Amino acid sequence: MEAAMKVVVLAGGVSAEREISLASGKAVRETLRNAGHEADIVDPGSGWKVVEPHEVPLEANRTSCGLPGGEGTGLLTAADIVFNTLHGGQGEDGTVNAVLELLGVPYVGGKPAACAAAMDKATSKMLFSQAGVPTPDYILLDGWNRGLWTDSLAEAAGRFGLPLVVKPAEEGSTVGLTKVESDDQLFPAAEEAARFSRRVVVEKFIAGRELTVGVVADEALPVLEVIVPGGLYDFEAKYRSHDNKYICPAEIDPEVAEEAQKFALLAFDLLGLLDYSRIDFRLDDRGGLWCLEANNQPGMTSSSLLPKAAAVSGLELPGLLEKIIASALSRY
């Protein structure tokens, strides 16, 4: 990577994951600055201005988060590269990357269409199934209709059995996700998911172990296992709990680890992702792998899974960021 580059780190935004994004952005900025680069955080949720994460409100100013204006455009176009650490919503679904494309600004990560496909869990699962990547059975609730949703939820419970996982089709960090264990929880869970996305995925719950595989510059990282005391790696477990255990490399059969890495690379390619990603799996009691989803802009904090796995492979955060940025710059 070139010396003394000017890097704009996009962080914050207006999604439900704003707080996590600010933490990721701060980690990336500080690491790049310590490596001798000029790096600043620009927050679309603060009017596309340079911000200090600890000084901006956790609630975004939604009246100032449209397209970048004169100052915002100038900041972006002056950068050698943009590192997008926005999580969820338009920051991760390809909308912001489309703006960067229009401005002709080099950036890290997938093209807009790839980001949209990865963010949309229903689209991802369809692509996985067609390519032979195992993914849990599901139904899609599209467009609010109480009567139809009630019938569809009952159908899903009958087909797949309980428990079920109900989650927004277009949100990350398990925001709005509920593990449903009784019939009376079904509709409230769908209503909760619908707060974050017009479309809702109702999916068969796979009991087993939580695994994840990072992909950096077309190479799969070691498989990482997350052990959660409560059994569900939801938003609270990811960002509020201090009781999780992380094992990397995961203590699984080498053949299973190799298969997980193979499926992760296949999912990465199917979606058209670039530079880096993280693919989440469940390993069931019979040794079967199930691909849950792809995270095209995974977290970059000290507690985030991709940096943990990269460190095991010999890439601490400075080296990880250098490899990601070098991968992106090779396209420009």
Which ranges of 208-276 does DSSP label H, i.e. alpha helix? 235-239, 254-271
Which pLDDT does position 1 carry in this prediction?
60
Q: Is 293 a catalytic residue?
A: yes
CATH code, domain carrying 254: 3.30.470.20
> Residues 197, 280, 282, 327: which is the catalytic one?
280
Find, among 9, 81, 79, 6, the residue nearest to 44 by Cα: 9
Total length of the chain: 332
> Residues 12, 13, 17, 84: which is the catalytic one?
17
Residue 223 and residue 273 share a domain = yes
Which pLDDT does position 146 carry in this prediction?
82
Q: Is residue 241 pLDDT above 90, yes or no?
A: no
Q: Is 280 a catalytic residue?
A: yes
pTM recorded for the entire structure: 0.93
> Residues 142, 239, 288, 313: which is the catalytic one?
239
Whether residue 51 contacts residue 41, with contact meaning beta carbons closer than 8 Å, is answered with: yes
Measured torsion, CA atoms of residues 138, 144, 150, 152, in degrees rounded to the nearest 10: -30
CB burial of residue 251 (10 Å; 0-12, 13-18, 19+): exposed
The torsion angles phi and psi of 158, rounded to 5 degrees, stand at: -70, -40
- Residue 144's pLDDT band (boundaries 50, 70, 90)? confident
As given in the structure block, the two tokens for residue 73 are 């455009």
Residue 228 and residue 189 share a domain = no
Residue 240 and residue 166 share a domain = no
Q: Is 13 a catalytic residue?
A: no
Residue 225 CA to residue 249 CA, distance in Å, equals 8
Number of domains, the chain: 3
Whether 132 is covered by a domain: the verdict is no
Whether residue 141 contacts residue 200, with contact meaning beta carbons closer than 8 Å, is answered with: yes
Whether residue 11 contacts residue 288, with contact meaning beta carbons closer than 8 Å, is answered with: no
Domain interval for residue 199: 137-204
Q: Is residue 259 pLDDT above 60, yes or no?
A: yes
Q: pLDDT (tens digit, 9 = 90+) per residue, 194-227?
A: 998 899 999 999 999 999 999 999 999 999 999 9
Q: Is 278 a catalytic residue?
A: yes
Q: Biggest alpha carbon distance in the chain?
A: 60
Which pLDDT does position 232 carry in this prediction?
62
Q: Which amino acid is at 188?
A: P
CATH code, domain carrying 163: 3.30.1490.20
Residue 255 CA to residue 262 CA, distance in Å, equals 10
> Residues 199, 209, 278, 282: which is the catalytic one?
278
Which pLDDT does position 235 carry in this prediction?
59
134 prior amide bond cis, ω within 30: no
CATH code, domain carrying 31: 3.40.50.20
> Residues 152, 173, 197, 277: which is the catalytic one?
173
- Residue 103's pLDDT band (boundaries 50, 70, 90)? very high
> Residues 25, 45, 91, 299: which is the catalytic one?
299
Q: Is 244 a catalytic residue?
A: no
Q: What is the mean pLDDT of residues 310-323?
A: 97
Which pLDDT does position 231 carry in this prediction?
63
Residue 85 CA to residue 97 CA, distance in Å, equals 11
> Residues 295, 296, 304, 327: which is the catalytic one?
295
> Residues 107, 293, 296, 304: which is the catalytic one?
293
Residue with tokens 């996305």: 197
- Residue 175's pLDDT band (boundaries 50, 70, 90)? confident
Question: Final residue of a domain: which of 147, 177, 204?
Answer: 204
Mean pLDDT (the chain) is 92
Which pLDDT does position 17 carry in this prediction?
87
Q: Is 239 a catalytic residue?
A: yes
